[in-house]
Structure 1
Amino acid sequence: MKNVTFKNISGAGITMSANIYFPSTFVESNKYPAIVVTHPGGGVKEQAAGLYAKHMAANGFIAIAFDASYQGESTGEPRQLENPYTRTEDISAVIDYLTTLGYVDADRIGALGVCAGGGYSANAAINDRRIKSVATVSAVNIGQMFRNGWDGSVADTDAMGYLDFGSNARTNDVSGADLMQIPLAPMRREDAPNEELAEAWEYYHTPRCAHPNAPGYTLTRNLNQLVTYDAYYLAEAFLTQPLLMVAGSQAGSRWMSENLIERAASNDKQLEIIEGGNHMSFYDLPNYVDQAVSKLAPFFQRTL
């Protein structure tokens, strides 16, 4: 594994930080297919994204896990912005960098995302034709989640209050007061609305996988972008690349994978439901990660 930094030329002067994982038989003079692995909202490259990147490298790919702009070891102020449009653009910025590496085959680049990173990866594939295939694990369309709730039971219009809250936060933020924050995962176990999301607290805030660069919150001002965002926007027309989505049979987020499978224009699309897994199972539990990898590796070997 090699840590790298590079300029994101999307216009905000960001320097990205990423870890590149190499196949065990790597020879720099050869060319390899590459996979961009995108972390969940609130996560960093050393957590689930890095775990999947390591597995993809073990299966013959160059794999790169990166920290989003304003997060982790990537630069940008204010810290912990979770602007979904920036998060999607980050994936293309990583691809920009990959095309400069002599050992990467620029015609064989795929995208893999976990949780919100899955939604962002799908959105990037809709926008960026350099992505030749896309896969997700426990995908979350973060706009749907904020509008419609974890289980999809909330009507769009009932999320109007979040827009008011985000709008007021922007006024607060320019007043000189401390920037307002909201959690992306429960900050305390007692804040979790169900056992599945209590696992999110456990993952991010206990020795299970806590990391000092992943504080678990974002800025309230981002509600204005998040609530109105659709990671799957125009998938019916433009998401034509091969698509694989992996989700657990017990995942509250499963409906967001089913939604994209229904909407995507691709003629090569598949939803793999793994029995017994919930949303968090695929972040780090070996049994479920291994089952996901057993689907992901052949998919990318076939499509890249």
Structure 2
Amino acid sequence: MPAIDNYIFTLSDAVTRESVSYKNRYGVTISADLYRPKSVSDLATLPALIVGAPYGGVKEQGPGVYANEMAQRGFTVLTFDPSFNGYSGGEVRHLSSPDLFVEDFSAAVDFIGTRPFVDRHKIGVIGICGSGSFGLSAAQVDRRIKAVVTVSMYDISRYHAKGFHDALTDEERNGWLDMIAEQRYAEFTGAAPAMTPRGAPMDIGSKTDEIGREFGAFYSRPRGYHHNSITQFTMSSAPSFINFALLNHLQWISPRPILFVIGEHAHSRYFSEDAFEMAGEAKELLVIPGANHVDLYDKTDLIPFDKLERFFNGAFH
């Protein structure tokens, strides 16, 4: 079962974790955790990493797993709850937005780059699942981000616009948008916000599709459960992702390096493979044998921490 403090992992004795908060440029208060290695003098300036949660996830889950490990390897690491989600501020709850979620990464750079114990010229990003596309999108225009790792990336704008494996027809998309438009009228006149279906079903049975089964085995079971991670967003959020693509300027990141990490059996691997082809130099694609999409959220025997350490140390020198 998860620990009583709702983190899904045990904090290393070699790491400190501090709860912090700051505002993004929209004035939303961001709830975050700051991880630091105990073995390093307070006078030392360390490279820093920002770890973004999967789409629908929170900082106490996979981001904390990564932060706990990378702090042991000599990095200061910041994890955060996205705006309008988790313990971060913002109303209506569980809203999502391409601009807001990309801004959250730049706001994290604002915060961590002004810490006296951080070398602001050595700041990198790890984006898990949807945060892979948000972190890349931020790096397109925020040159303070010197290197990006995506893990099991979902391009959320492409997913909303085209469906899984780009299978959404124009007729299906138009019908969906018409339904959302009618829901906006209802909400404007007082109805409660409609929510998308839960991405990770609580009840997993013989009729549950393989992707739902995979997400449910993490988010809806003790392995990854957190009460703030409902894997749902307001229905009216979706059109923004259709209208505003996240990765149109991916080549602008070059020559800053990108490492795309995917599981061999990940249902999402085509997002990373296609982004890899779009990206400029320097870039690398790493396939983890035997892993699926969600395995790389928390399975420390599969997550390539040695590679992440070498990648960022190489990028920062």
Counterpart Cα distance in 1 of 2:74 and 2:276: 27
Aligned to 1:78: 92
Find the partner of 1:162 among 153, 161, 176: 176
The 5 A counterparts of 1:41-56 are: 41-56=55-70
Find the partner of 2:220 among 205, 211, 219: 205
Secondary structure of 1:181's aligned partner: coil
What amino acid is aligned across from residue 178 of structure 1 in structure 2?
Answer: A
Aligned in 2, Cα 1:156/1:227: closer, same or farther, shift over 3 Å?
A: farther
Find the partner of 2:109 among 76, 81, 95: 95
Counterpart Cα distance in 2 of 1:192 and 1:7: 43
Aligned to 1:231: 246
Counterpart Cα distance in 2 of 1:170 and 1:240: 43
Find the partner of 1:279 among 290, 293, 297: 293
Question: Does the 8 Å contact 1:151/1:252 carry over to 2?
Answer: no
Aligned in 2, Cα 1:238/1:163: closer, same or farther, shift over 3 Å?
A: farther
Aligned to 2:14: none
Find the partner of 2:259 among 234, 239, 244: 244
- Cα deviation for residue 241 of structure 1 reads 1.6
Question: Does the 8 Å contact 2:254/2:282 carry over to 1?
Answer: no
Residue 62 (1) aligns with residue 53 (2): no
What amino acid is aligned across from residue 297 of structure 1 in structure 2?
Answer: E
Counterpart Cα distance in 2 of 1:252 and 1:142: 14
What amino acid is aligned across from residue 22 of structure 2 in structure 1?
Answer: F
Counterpart Cα distance in 1 of 2:178 and 2:65: 38
- List gaps (5 residues or longer) in structure 1: none
Counterpart Cα distance in 2 of 1:262 and 1:64: 29
Aligned in 2, Cα 1:232/1:193: closer, same or farther, shift over 3 Å?
A: farther
Aligned in 2, Cα 1:166/1:239: closer, same or farther, shift over 3 Å?
A: farther
Show CA shifts across 1:199-228 (max 9, x none): 201211121111111122100000111223
Aligned in 2, Cα 1:171/1:89: closer, same or farther, shift over 3 Å?
A: same
Tell me how large the CA RMSD over aligned residues is.
1.8
Question: Does the 8 Å contact 2:150/2:261 carry over to 1?
Answer: yes
Question: Does the 8 Å contact 1:162/1:223 carry over to 2?
Answer: no
Aligned in 2, Cα 1:110/1:24: closer, same or farther, shift over 3 Å?
A: same
- Cα deviation for residue 153 of structure 1 reads 3.4
Count, aligned residues: 299
Identify which range, 181-190 or 251-260, moves more after superposition. 181-190
Secondary structure of 1:272's aligned partner: strand
Aligned in 2, Cα 1:221/1:23: closer, same or farther, shift over 3 Å?
A: same
Question: Does the 8 Å contact 1:111/1:121 carry over to 2?
Answer: yes
Aligned in 2, Cα 1:192/1:85: closer, same or farther, shift over 3 Å?
A: farther
Aligned in 2, Cα 1:184/1:254: closer, same or farther, shift over 3 Å?
A: farther
TM-score by length of 1: 0.93
Find the partner of 1:268 among 259, 262, 282: 282
Aligned in 2, Cα 1:157/1:268: closer, same or farther, shift over 3 Å?
A: farther
Question: Does the 8 Å contact 2:201/2:213 carry over to 1?
Answer: no
Aligned to 2:233: 218
Secondary structure of 2:196's aligned partner: strand
Instruction: Give me the identity figure in percent.
Output: 33
Structure having the higher helix fraction is 1
Secondary structure of 1:232's aligned partner: coil
Counterpart Cα distance in 2 of 1:145 and 1:192: 23
Show CA shifts across 1:165-216 (max 9, x none): 3322322221111111003513343598632331201211121111111122
Aligned to 2:197: 183
Aligned in 2, Cα 1:250/1:152: closer, same or farther, shift over 3 Å?
A: farther
Question: Does the 8 Å contact 1:121/1:134 carry over to 2?
Answer: yes
